[in-house]
Amino acid sequence: MITSTSGFRVRFGAVLACFLILPQFLLSCAGSSARIDPEAAVYNLAPVARAASSPSEGVYYCVFVRSFADSDGDGVGDFKGLTAKLDYLNDGKNETVADLGVTGIWLMPMFPSQSYHGYNVDDYYAVNPEYGSMEDFETFLAEADRRGISVIIDMTCNHSSTYTDWFISSRDPESPYRDWYRWISPDDSRYNLKQKIWGHNLWNKYKDSYYAGLFESGMPDFNLANPAVREEFKKITSFWMDKGVDGFRFDAAGHVFNAAKLASGEESQSQGVAFWKELVGHIRAENPEAYTVGEVWDSTGTRAVYMQGLGSTFHFDLGTRIVDMIRTGDGGRNNLANTLFADYETYREFNPDYVDAPFLTNHDQNRISGMLKGDPAQLKLSASLYLFAEGVPFIYYGEEIGLMGAKPDEQIRTPMLWNDPGKDRLQTSWIESKYNRNTIPVARQNRDKDSLLNYYRRAVRAKTAHPALYRGRLSPFDTGISSIVSWKMSDSAQTAYVFHNVSSESVALSLPFGPEYSLVFATYAETRANPDGTITLPPRGSAVFADSVKE
């Protein structure tokens, strides 16, 4: 056992004995009532009163429709299947515990496309017919809304497919759509026609001209300097908001004015920020509560710059930091908390109202379960480290059951596992996973109170129940123990303290607060108060303390 010598010792012998000072209360739903006991939720999966309600609060869940749930038996997921599984994500009832409890869904591309992934869009005003009809999609939105789930959809503004009417028309030099894409002539000395990016040619020849395809030749880049294109994306976002969409995840947001496709001497970053300010400004004018988050796979400084326009960006590199720290079992001098705080300070310089979007891995990265070799304790710790950080965390579908996968991309986007083979009629089967032979499906994890899935259910409930956790700002404090990562979360209504033991040994530490703080979440029941006023945190365990919510 490791013991703190940091001098944080305070009177705390009775804190855990009295646990929560929040009152118990009754919730009624559809004529039935269930007592919600906050104390019961400290160590166990139990009903809680979830308070996060804005689209820019709570916890999101990323869904690849193709892999999630199949209603018609063709092997491909669809909107009807997704709708049928909404109660798994959130049934809209505080008094139940069978749902994951997420407050939002990010749908990966659901437009018509020639590809399985959908990031090369054929038509921005329609849904992928493999996934169902527009009516099916609208039904899904209505059912999500009924459960209090916000829905944001993937929007690709950087490029389309080569099958859009716009691009097909633009191939004619005399077309009014010519300037909708980045076409250049071979004698334009401002561009390098031999430019390569990520191993392929940036410029693609068509007859006597070249067009930019930053990601591939089948994804021609829009010319977002053209006001007509910018206006079109305003129309597109309005169209989907009118359908009931609550916001957008913007793909490749940092690349819309990538320097590689611009004329020499043309400024890149400022044009990108200006574009996002204009588009997001339009979205917020129509719906001030809309949540927009951008993929800016770059440094903290670059993400911060784009926060000016996007408002929220994904926290790339956080997952890698978490994995590295868990593997070593050493938090340094509270390195993760200090790094997070430094990142947030940088964001704040550019946008005081920024919203961070932490995640472990996404649809472009090897899955976290494989990185941590499926170790349940390490996976639970990794979940706590990002779910209890600042901002709106994103769970990649299947992460909560330990779904595995590694590159190529298809193998990190494989079917969600609902039950043992043949036991769930909604199981998708469009591709076979190479990595999930031993992954435990949802149905079996439901029956194990200590499963990874039930841990996620508990952690998500804690996150969405406490304003300090879902709305607060993070500041680090050092316990003096290298294996403890700790921070404070502060909101005008509440303050919380978060502790993580990243080592394989139990740790006793003193607590920097008095009895007004109560334990609201712990990974393990062995998290107990000691007679000397310390708390013992088991290996790979996390604990969260919070004061009462101010009116």
DSSP string, 142-195: HHHHHTT-EEEEEE--SB--TTSHHHHHHTSTTSTTGGGB-EE-TT-TTS-TT-
Contact 127, 110 (CB under 8 A): yes
Asked if 123 and 161 count as a contact pair (C-beta separation under 8 A), the reply is: no
Distance CA 313, CA 296 (A): 6
Find the distance separating the first CA and the last CA of the chain, reported in whole Å: 40
Identified catalytic residue from 295, 343, 356, 424: 295
Name the helix (H) or strand (E) containing 107. Answer: strand 104-107
Nearest-10 crossing angle of helices 269-286, 300-310: 40
Structure tokens at 250: 């913007």
Whether 251 is catalytic is yes
- Give, as one character, the DSSP assignment of residue 380: H
Contact of 141 with 243, CB cutoff 8 Å? yes
Q: Of 95, 246, 251, 400, which one is the catalytic site residue?
A: 251
Encoding tokens for residue 325?
Answer: 């720290």
Secondary structure element (H or E) that encloses residue 444, with its range = helix 442-446
**φ and ψ at 289, to 5 degrees?**
-90, -5
Which residue has 């394989």 as its token pair?
Answer: 504
Q: Is the peptide bond before 393 cis (omega within 30 degrees of 0)?
A: no
Let me know if 135 is a catalytic residue.
no
498, 489 contact by CB (below 8 A): yes
Give the 3-state secondary structure of residue 531: coil
Question: What angle is formed at CA 379 by the lines to CA 376 and CA 384, rounded to 5 degrees?
Answer: 125
In terms of Cα–Cα distance, which of 528, 523, 527, 526 is closest to 542? 523
SS3 state at 493: coil
Q: Per the structure block, which two tokens stand in for 438?
A: 């031993």
Structure tokens at 14: 């009775």
**Which residues are part of the catalytic machinery?**
251, 295
